[in-house]
């Protein structure tokens, strides 16, 4: 299956935004060695894609809420079928089908952006002055040459951490500069990727379902760790796209989670009646820090004797005693 339609679509969005910023008069390699027209074209490629995928993002949030609401039932199934993994998986799949919840929906926005990422990766790899095909996917020769010379802090957007000496020479780039800029961007990419997953998990909590929890761990740790290696082959323009996408995700998730806060689970909602109102006091001092003080001894009180009724004659206790017998 040909992916040319993706390359044409990505190229069209990039060229449209670049033309818009170029018409406004955005500086070109005049400020700190940066071509802001092409950098902004990549940034607004992210904005365009995220606006298109916003309904999918809302469905992702709703699906995660549905999964969170099912956690008590999932836990019951885990306790019921403890040790029988096959039956547990069947029961949970039936539960998800009945409640119309999809554990994989949390990854859907990321999966839908993979074609965009691959398309941009392919297009930027073409920005090599040695290539003869400079007019593919709707590019003109002038646009191709302008993009191949576009830089971020004097590092070409088509350069990458693992660029060879020949590739850097064709781009007219300094190898040290490219490695420094690309290395910093890769670290930012890893950090923001981790934060986007951590933000969602902190708000919704860890899933009880082992499959869902595995996906959460993959998103939180697996993907950022893989970027440490794969980031070396990403062009700087692709890393700019990834970082911008992560920042957009952080802002979007924060807005959605504030506007539609997660439901309070029974575990979190502790009512005053369920709390123990009496807490043991802690003793102070050097040796008693953190230890609970023993309960105070209860003083025994004598039983109260009822007094005489009003109007009754006082009783003399001496007279009430029996007289001693005289021998």
What is the pLDDT confidence band of residue 1, given thresholds at 50, 70 and 90? Answer: low
- The tokens describing 254, both together, are 């924060």
319 vs 148, higher pLDDT? 148
pLDDT at 311 over 60: no
What is the pLDDT confidence band of residue 292, given thresholds at 50, 70 and 90? Answer: very low
What is the pLDDT confidence band of residue 304, given thresholds at 50, 70 and 90? Answer: low
- DSSP secondary structure of 72-125: HHHHHHHHHTTT-HHHHHHHHHHHHHHHT--GGGGGHHHHHHHHHHHHHHHHHH
What is the pLDDT confidence band of residue 316, given thresholds at 50, 70 and 90? Answer: low
Which pLDDT score, from 0 to 100, does residue 269 have?
Answer: 47
Q: How far apart are CA 123 and CA 228, in angstroms?
A: 22
Q: Write out pLDDT tens, residues 82-127.
A: 888 888 888 888 888 887 777 777 677 778 888 999 999 999 988 8
Average pLDDT over the chain, rounded to whole?
79
Cα–Cα separations (whole angstroms), residue 256 to 54, 197, 251, 289:
11, 15, 9, 44
Q: Write out pLDDT tens, residues 210-265.
A: 777 888 888 889 999 999 988 999 999 999 999 999 999 899 888 877 876 766 55
What is the pLDDT confidence band of residue 289, given thresholds at 50, 70 and 90? Answer: very low
- The tokens describing 297, both together, are 């001894």
What is the share, in percent, of the chain residues with pLDDT greater than 70? Answer: 76
Of 240, 242, 236, 238, whose CA–CA distance to 196 is shortest?
A: 242
Least confident of 164-173, 194-203, 224-233: 194-203
Helices (H), the chain: 4-24, 36-52, 54-69, 71-80, 85-99, 108-125, 141-148, 165-171, 175-204, 210-217, 223-230, 236-259
pLDDT at 279 over 80: no
The alpha carbon torsion through 259, 265, 269, 273 (nearest 10 deg) reads 150
pTM of the model: 0.72
Which pLDDT score, from 0 to 100, does residue 12 have?
Answer: 96
CA 220-225-229 angle, to 5 degrees, is 155
Specify whether the CB–CB gap between 152 and 39 falls below 8 A: yes
Residue for token pair 């951490």: 161
- The tokens describing 141, both together, are 């020769």
Specify whether the CB–CB gap between 7 and 119 falls below 8 A: yes
Q: How far apart are CA 127 and CA 5, in angstroms?
A: 19
Residue for token pair 């830089």: 151
């Amino acid at each position: 299956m040909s992916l040319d339609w993706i390359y044409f679509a990505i190229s069209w969005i990039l060229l449209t935004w670049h033309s818009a910023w170029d018409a406004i008069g955005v500086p070109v390699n005049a400020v700190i060695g940066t071509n802001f027209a092409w950098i902004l074209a990549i940034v607004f490629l992210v904005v365009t894609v995220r606006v298109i995928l916003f309904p999918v993002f809302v469905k992702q949030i709703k699906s995660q809420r549905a999964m969170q609401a099912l956690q008590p039932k999932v836990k019951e199934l885990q306790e019921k079928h403890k040790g029988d993994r096959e039956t547990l998986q069947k029961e949970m799949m039936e539960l998800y089908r009945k409640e119309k919840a999809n554990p994989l929906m949390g990854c859907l926005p990321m999966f839908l952006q993979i074609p965009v990422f691959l398309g941009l990766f392919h297009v930027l790899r073409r920005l090599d002055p040695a290539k003869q095909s400079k007019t593919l996917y709707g590019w003109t020769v002038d646009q191709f040459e302008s993009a191949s010379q576009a830089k971020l802090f004097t590092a070409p957007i088509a350069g990458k951490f693992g660029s060879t000496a020949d590739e850097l020479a064709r781009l007219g780039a300094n190898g040290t500069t490219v490695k420094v800029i690309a290395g910093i961007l890769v670290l930012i990419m890893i950090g923001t990727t981790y934060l986007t997953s951590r933000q969602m998990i902190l708000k919704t909590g860890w899933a009880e379902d082992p499959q869902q929890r595995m996906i959460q761990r993959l998103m939180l740790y697996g993907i950022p760790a893989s970027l440490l290696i794969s980031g070396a082959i990403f062009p700087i323009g692709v890393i700019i796209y990834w970082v911008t996408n992560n920042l957009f995700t952080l802002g979007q998730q924060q807005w959605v989670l504030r506007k539609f806060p997660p439901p309070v689970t029974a575990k979190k909602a502790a009512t005053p009646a369920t709390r123990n109102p009496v807490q043991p006091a802690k003793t102070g001092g050097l040796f008693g820090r953190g230890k609970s003080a023993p309960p105070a001894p209860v003083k025994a009180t004598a039983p109260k004797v009822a007094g005489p009724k009003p109007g009754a004659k006082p009783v003399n206790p001496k007279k009430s005693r029996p007289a001693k017998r005289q021998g």
